[in-house]
Structures are given as C-alpha cells and as structure tokens.
Structure 1
Amino acid sequence: MSKKLDSQNLHAIINGLPQQFLDGYNSTDIKIPTDTKKIVFCGMGGSALPANLLKTYISTAKIDFHASIKINRDYVLPKATDKTWCGFFNSYSGNTEEILACLKEAEKRGLKNIVVLAHTGELKKIAAKKKYAFIQIPDAKQPRMAYGFYVGALLKVLVNSKLIKLDEKPFIKDINKAQSVVSSLEMKAQKLAKAAKDKVVLVYTTNKWKYTAMVWKINFNENAKTQSFWNVFPEMNHNEMVGFTHLLTKYKTFIITDPDEHSRNIKRTQIFTKLLGKKLNVQNIEMLKGSALYKLVTTLQLGLWTSYYLALLYKIDPAPVDLVEKFKKLMK
C-alpha cells in the first residue's frame, strides 16, 4: 500500500533523516563574520523550521553562542534589522514571494552579509547573479523533508565562523546512533498512527522542546492532511487545558517528555495526564535517553514516521500539499 500511495517515496527520505544532518554539516565551507551579533533568518513553512530546530539544538545542548537569531516569517524584515545584521534567506523552491521580498528589502537596507539557501528557482538565480554566499539544498521532494540537511548546514556555518565550538566526533557518533534506531522508531510510529486515526491530534511538550511539538503538528497537517495543534507546559496549564471542559470532538494527545526535564514540569505532565488522560486519550512519549542531538533527531523522526503512517491509514499520498498549491495560484 505504501508504494502505491507514496508517489514521491517519502519513506526513503524519512528513513535517511539522521544522515541529512551529517550531509548538511559536510556540505559547506561558508562563513560569516566572527563578530556577528545579530542574525535574521527568513523562511516560510518547511523552509523556516530549520532555524527553529537550530535554536533548539544550541539551547538544549548548552552550546556557548552569543549572537541572537531572529526568525522572520513575513514579507518585511524586523524593524531593527540594519546593515550590521547577517541575513539568511531560505526558500526550497526558490520562488517564495515573502522571502524574495525580504531579500529585496535587505539589499535596500544595505545588509553586507547575505546567505541564500535554495534547491532551485528565482532565489538561486539571484544568488548566482549577485554572487551571494549560497547553500545548495538537495532534492528532498518537499521543503519540510529537508530540514535535517538545513540544520546541519547552518550549524557548520556557525562553526566555520567560530561563533560556536563543536566536537565533531560526538556529533557524528550521535547521528550514527540515531540512524541505528530508525527501524524501531518506524515500528513504534505505526502503533501511534493507529491510535491517532479519526481523531484531532494534540501535541504537547515542555518549553525547551517546543519546536519539536510544532514540527510534529506540522507533519500531521501536511503529511496526514488532518487537524493538529500544539502547546507547551507549563503555559498551557494556565489557559488551554480549561478549554477541554466541554469537548466538541475526539482527540488523541501525545505528550513528548524528556526524562531530564525540570522536576516541576515532569509533575505537571503527570497531573495533566491524571486529570485529562482518559478524556483526551493521552499518551506520554518519552524521548530516548542520550545527548540533546540524539533526543532531537530521534524525536523528529518519530513524528515524521507517525504522520506518514497516519496518511497511509487515511489512504492518501503523504507528499503533495494540494491546498497550498491551489492557494498560491489564487495569490497570483
């Protein structure tokens, strides 16, 4: 069934997610000024996720990094952006109108350090014509399927620029370790997908891992073509959970937990499960034990596999996003 429905062979791409991080890391010798203090990363959809995940890794791995990264998902740059900032402009298709608009504005504001990331399209042409630093993104069929490569490449740029220090041996070891558990994660995901079928999927985690929950939610939206929402502890204990007093539909709730999390947050997830576990079909998913990188990569892959198999259960192709393409045509 998977071969018949999976027109773009996303199975193979998901299977190789850990290797993407390493391939991206080994892909570039680009560097930005060592004294860079502020970075703006412009991207939309799947082309914006890498910056969120890069920030997550830097934070959870407690890497010493003193520049700020502002993620921009809009037509205009943040007001404070000036020529002293470094700008990353990312569009897998190379034709995302918001990013092309941001690049034009960056040029007007006189940004001297510009890095372009694309697979093809107008953005790639502009980079070649104006000789901007350029990172070639390989064919991943869909933008959301290339974030491992993006994160690896962005990480290497920071290393090349001496903005962070990274011991490559543990990095490579963790990637290989993550690749070794791909099959077991796939089997686990098949069970999770069955549990999520015909329900609205909620994804919760703690604040430090919030972007993993966001990516899981997006995976369910784009791969399984279904409704999904995310939030974080402890904030959701102060508002969102009250909304489940009167249910309007059936839910499947995944809570991504880190055994190394703050003890009070662990207690919050436990109490939430006790109070609403049956009502919301709560299932706690504990991250695999290991380094921050290992936790990040394996958790992301589990989410991809789960959304992939949920799509197959719905008998739909996980790859295309027809509604997005239709919307783009109407915007022209």
Structure 2
Amino acid sequence: MMDQLIQRFPEQLKEAMQIGEEAQIHPHSSEINKVYVAGLGGSGIGANFVAEFIKDECPLPYNVGKGYNIPKYVDENTLAICSSYSGNTEETLYSYREMLETGAKVVIISSGGTLIEEAKSRGFDYIQVPGNWPSPRACLGYSIIQQLYVLEKLGFISDNFKTAIKASIDLINFDLDSIQESAQKVADKIYNKIPVIYVTDRMESVAVRLRQQINENAKMLCWHHVIPEMNHNELVGWTEKHPELAVLYLRNHDDFNRNQHRIEINQEIIGRYTETIIDIFSKGNSLIEKAFYLVHLGDWISWYLSVHKGADAIEVNVINYLKSELSKI
C-alpha cells in the first residue's frame, strides 16, 4: 500500500496545484508582517519545506511551531496557518484555540475534522485537501503546495514556484525507474545499520523528511544533523569505530562551495570510523525540483528498508496507543 502512495507523488503534486488554483484566500483587515504555521508530523514538515523554498523571496519571517502553544508575537499582524491533514491533531488544535485570541489572519489547511468545521463556522479561509489517503505522511505535497498558494494569493511571493513544481513532476516521472533503482541500492546497503543523515543547512527539511520516513515506514531509529553546524559539535563525537552506522550525505551539485569542502573533509574524518558512507545527489534546476527529487528518492529508500525489515510501512500502532492513553487523561 505505501509503495502505491509513494508512486502517486507526482500525481499528488499535480492535483495539489489544481486545488491551490481554485482556493479563495482573502486579504486581512490588518497589515501582515509575519507568518506562523502550526503543524506536526507529516503536516508540520511541509511548513519547513516552504520556509526554505521562500527564503530568498518572501519578505516576511516564516516560523513553524510543533507544540501546543503559540509564541507571544502572534498577533493581529500575523498570518497564522494551521496545517493538519486529519483536522484533529491535538497539539494543532491547542494552537488554533490560542490563535483565536490574537486577531491573526487564520487559514486552515486540512482534509476535514474539527479544523475544517471551525473554519466553516467562523468564516475563516480554508483549503480542503482530499481525505482518502490512508497515511497523512504520504500527503506532503498537499501541505507544501497549499501553503505556497496561500502566500502567493496574499501577494507575499510570486507565482514562480508553479513552474518549478511542474518541472518537478516531469523530472520525477521521467526518472522514476532510476530513482527506484538507486533507492533499492541504498536500502540494500543500510538495512542492517543505523542511518545517520547529513545535509547542508539550505535543505534540512529533506533530511528531516527522510529521517521521519525511515522511522515510520521501516520502523528504524536514525538521526540527522546539518552542515556546517555539525562541524561545531557532532563531528567531535566521531572518535571510535562504529561499523553499525551508515552515513548518508544528501547533496546538490551546487551546494555552497565552502560546505562542499566541509563535506569532503568530514568524509575523510568519518571514514576512519565507519565503512558505509553514501553520497546521494539531487537532480533538477531549482531548489524545489532538487528537494522534491530527493524527497521521492528518500521515500523509496524508506519503502525498500521496510521490505528488508518485514515491516508494515502503513501501521503506526505505537502512535495510536499513545493517543489512546492521552485521551484517558
């Protein structure tokens, strides 16, 4: 089932664009000078991608919250987006209720649930995405693209992202066989190890996404860190042999020059302590293309890992148990 959902990623991107084009987002009564997004898991990571995509264009700070409470700076001059695929995410609902007291411009992105009901009853702008996907984390494209459309319709970014998304769809469809082949080769090398994912600061969201997909789909522990920050701390931890670790570098051919040199030196150091170091390069022209390419490749890596582990990539029983126990409190 999960492999079928991953296969549909390009189709999802196309559908998400159609939904975004039809969305109605109205101006706020006050000037907006900042953006705050509340969301967790597969819905929350979409906002992190957007923050990276718009960094060089959007004049507003774009912050993401992944907890129960919103920061004090959220006020009547804030675009406050609630992103929850189900519309019932506990932490996002807490944040939403706090937003109601601020006078912020509230926009809901969801497939249904309490948040869509609230948006309709209170007259808030909302974008409703399809609710027939059995796994929220497979709906990353909906989350990212709707946020981009909200920003574009409010005049904070141009429509250039649309060209990049269309190019991403074409690239993934064209390169699908190669993507799956590369993903399987990586999975074959790391399925019996603990993955360590490194990436430069411009694309941390791609590493977070891969980490989360490996956690949930393959039921494996792993971690990630960012270059150059990890050169100021984690690199010092590489002081003894760790044959159980597999280091994955998510890279772009045009990564900042100094970071490319850092990666080369890092690999020399880390190579003394583990034999498994794998470079995974993106394809594409724009940041959006490169990110979506690596997302799709990473999703397939997590799927092939789940096959190696004999894991059900869809089930998240431990999360359901946690929610059940919390509901008793």
TM-score computed with the length of structure 1 as normaliser: 0.91
Matched with 1:282 is 277
Residue 260 (structure 1) aligned to one of 254, 262, 276: 254
Deviation (angstroms), 1:268? 1.1
Contact conserved, 2:167 with 2:289, CA < 8 A, in 1? no
Q: Could you tell me which amino acid in structure 1 is paired with residue 125 of structure 2?
A: A
29-38 vs 9-18, which deviates more? 29-38
Instruction: Give runs of aligned pairs for residues 30-45 of structure 1, distance below 5 A.
Output: 30-33=24-27, 35-45=31-41
> Distance between the aligned counterparts of 1:170 and 1:137, measured in 2?
21
Contact 1:22 1:149 in 2 (8 A): no
Other-structure match for 2:177: 183
Where 2:76 maps in the other structure, the secondary structure is coil
Against the structure 1 CA distance between its residues 269 and 248, is the aligned structure 2 distance closer, same or farther, given a 3 Å change threshold? closer
Matched, 1:320 2:311: no
Hey, what does 2:49 align to over in structure 1?
53
Q: CA deviation at 1:208?
A: 0.6
Q: Tell me, what secondary structure is at the counterpart of 2:101?
A: helix
Unaligned residue ranges in structure 2 (runs of 5+)? none
Which structure carries more relative contact order (alpha carbon 8 Å, separation 6+)?
Answer: 1
Give distance in 2, aligned partners of 1:166 and 1:94: 27
- Residues 12-45 of structure 1, C-alpha deviation per residue, up to 9 Å, x if partnerless? 2211213323322221323253852211100111
Q: Which moved more, 1:117-126 or 1:221-230?
A: 117-126
Contact between 1:26 and 1:153, CA under 8 Å: does it hold in 2? no
Alpha-carbon offset, residue 191 of structure 1: 0.9
- Structure 1 position 283, deviation (Å): 0.7
Q: Displaced runs of 4+ in structure 1, greater than 6 A? A: none
Letter in 2 for 1:181: D
For residues 193-232 of structure 1, the C-alpha deviation after alignment (integer angstroms, 9 at most, x for no partner) is: 1111111111001111111111111111111111010001
Q: Which of 129, 150, 175 matches 1:157?
A: 150
Residue matched to 2:103: 110
Matched to 1:187, the amino acid is: E
The Cα offsets for residues 133-182 of structure 1, whole Å up to 9 and x where unpaired, read as 12112233212111111111111122222211123445423322222212
In structure 1, how many angstroms separate the alpha carbons of the residues matched to 2:86 and 2:165?
A: 29
Match of 1:73 in 2: 66
Which of 16, 27, 42 pairs up with 2:19? 27
Distance (Å, rounded) in 2 between the aligned partners of 1:305 and 1:24: 21
1:201/1:252 contact within 8 Å kept: yes
CA contact (8 A) 2:164 2:289 kept: no
Instruction: Provide the alpha-carbon RMSD of the alignment.
Output: 1.7
- Aligned partners of 2:168 and 2:284 also within 8 Å: no
Contact 2:83 2:143 in 1 (8 A): no
* CA deviation after TM superposition for structure 1 residue 248, in Å: 6.1
For these two proteins, the number of residue pairs brought into alignment is 320
SS where residue 90 of structure 1 aligns? Answer: strand
What secondary structure, in the 3-state scheme, does the structure 2 residue paired with 1:30 have? coil
1:302 corresponds to: 297
Alignment partner of 2:3 out of 11, 14, 22: 11
Partner of 2:89: 96
| Correspondence for 1:4 | none
Q: Does 1:213 align with 2:213?
A: no
Deviation at 1:279, TM superposition (A): 2.6
5+ residue gaps, structure 1: 1-8
Give aligned-pair identity as a percent: 27
After TM superposition, give the deviation of residue 278 of structure 1 in Å.
5.5
Q: Which moved more, 1:311-320 or 1:9-18?
A: 9-18
Deviation at 1:317, TM superposition (A): 0.8
Contact 1:223 1:311 in 2 (8 A): yes
